[in-house]
Amino acid sequence: MSNQILIFLLDTILGLLSLALLLRFYFQLLRVPYYNAISQFLIAATDFIVRPARRVIPGWAGIDLSTLILAWLMECMIITSVYMVQGYDFAENIGAASGVMGLLGIVEIIKVTLYIVLIMIIMQAILSWVNPHSPLAPILDSFTRPFLAVFRKRIPPIANVDLSPLFVLILIQVLLMLVAGVHKEIITMLL
């Protein structure tokens, strides 16, 4: 029982920090408007760890690598802690276990990224029906535009209905299935 509580607390606290770091990374990468409440919150919530990391991990081609690497490290810490609490002995083969934890961290980053895009597209679709002039609309549009643009170029609107979100959601579901398969394969390497 106490192991489950510890796993829950670690997953929640580190998972939320990882999510905030990933959102900050993608907001910067996709040029989401800086002066909005969500961007300001993400910066305030993650600055304590991002600023020192930037001294060690430089950016590359305008990409803030420190934020992405910190999110990956958080995911690796979550996975490692869960396995340690469940009784996995890393001392047997620490090199291979570290590599597997790193790979699982990458898989988790990809999975969380897909879920972020999925939720943002659904939110944007709902807002476009309910309140298209919401203050959240420009943020969602900036974030989802690169993903939707791929399908908007090839699929014209039908009766003024944009079907590109539907195709992106289907693609994300397929990618999530592939990621789940890769996750299982990596786990078999560990066990």
Encode pLDDT of 1-16 as tens digits: 688 888 899 889 999 9
Alpha helices in 57-156 (DSSP H): 65-85, 94-130, 137-154
* pLDDT of res. 109: 96
28, 67 in Cβ contact below 8 A?
A: yes
Query: In one letter, which amino acid is 183?
Result: H
CA 125/CA 75 separation, integer angstroms: 29
What digits encode the pLDDT tens for the residues 22-53? 999 999 988 888 888 888 999 999 999 999 99
CA separation, residue 19 to residues 73, 101, 108, 175, 178 (Å): 12, 18, 11, 19, 21
> pTM of the full predicted structure?
0.89
Question: What is the span of the domain harbouring residue 27?
Answer: 2-190
Burial (0-12, 13-18, 19+ Cβ within 10 Å), 127: middle
DSSP classification of residue 63: B
What percent of the chain lies above the pLDDT cut of 70?
98
97, 190 in Cβ contact below 8 A?
A: yes
Domain count, the chain: 1
